[in-house]
Chains A and B, each alone.
Chain A
Amino acid sequence: MIRITRKVEFSASHFYHNPNFSAEENRRVFGKCNNPHGHGHNYTLEVTIAGEPDPATGMVLDLKELKELLEREVMDRMDHRHLNYEVPELAGKIPTCENIAAVIWQLLQPKITRGKLDRVRLYESPNLFADCTAGSALTNGGGKRA
């Protein structure tokens, strides 16, 4: 099996705010990210597809198709957008790196017709990224190590 990865970059703004929290609780939990005017990032997205190369073309999939898919599903939705207000898939969710990566996975996964979506890695900055993979999710309470 071969894994191929395509990278794209987009710029977007967001802020973290839970309407069920008090103003004080929002500030305590989210800190600077709670600024209601928002702030922005240059996000780097790496999408990895796993599969066997087609013997006729030597390709797992045509990278041009993947490029167009990322343009349509991710760039058109998120590039130069406000993630809190302009991306319906994030409505009602805090637009953290984890949640954005999960939304991108859900957008791409049904559209990959050759090979399988293996990993979505979303960098919010060079020092922070979320990975979304096909593994089974931990349920609530499974996050703590015994």
Chain B
Amino acid sequence: MKLSLTRRYDFAASHRLHAPLLSDAENQRVYGKCNNPYGHGHNYALEVTVTGPVDPATGMITNLGDLDPFVEREVLSAFDQKNLNEEVAEFRAQVPTTENVCREIFRRLQNFPAAQLERVRIEETSKNSFEVGAEEFL
């Protein structure tokens, strides 16, 4: 029997999908509306899953009093109400697709000291979701 705990957060951000190595015409063909030079935004839902032993003294894998401020500091404060291309340094060199946002958020959270990060899942809209698991980073 294995237990995990998942916490859901929200952030709102804008982005533009544009790959500098592609021509303008190719960018337009590949990314379509998402290539609009003025950008656009989403209400992202972020699910963070951690696993580990349940502490018998607290009944918890991790105390949300530890997880919430960690996610706030490492991710939400940097991503919420921001332009991902312009304001998150890692997306100057890579396209802020939600695949890449998932990986970047996993990278920022993987050293959470109180439990093991198992999965990061993002709903970009209610119709699109993306997830990355710890196996990707072994």
Contact = CB atoms under 8 A, between A and B. Distances in A.
Interface stretch (B30-38, B85-93, B112-120): B112-120
A25 to B, nearest CB: 10
B8 interface: yes
Contacts of A141: 53
Interface string B112-132: 111111000000000000000
* Overall SS of chain A's interface: loop
Contacts, number: 100
Contacts of A99: 54, 59
Given A128-B64, A130-B6, A140-B53, A29 B1 contact: no
A10 interface: no
Sort chain A's interface into a size bin.
35 or more
Interface stretch (A47-55, A74-82, A90-98): A90-98
A63 interface: no
A138 B53 contact: yes
Interface of B: 1-9, 49, 51-54, 56-61, 63-65, 110-117
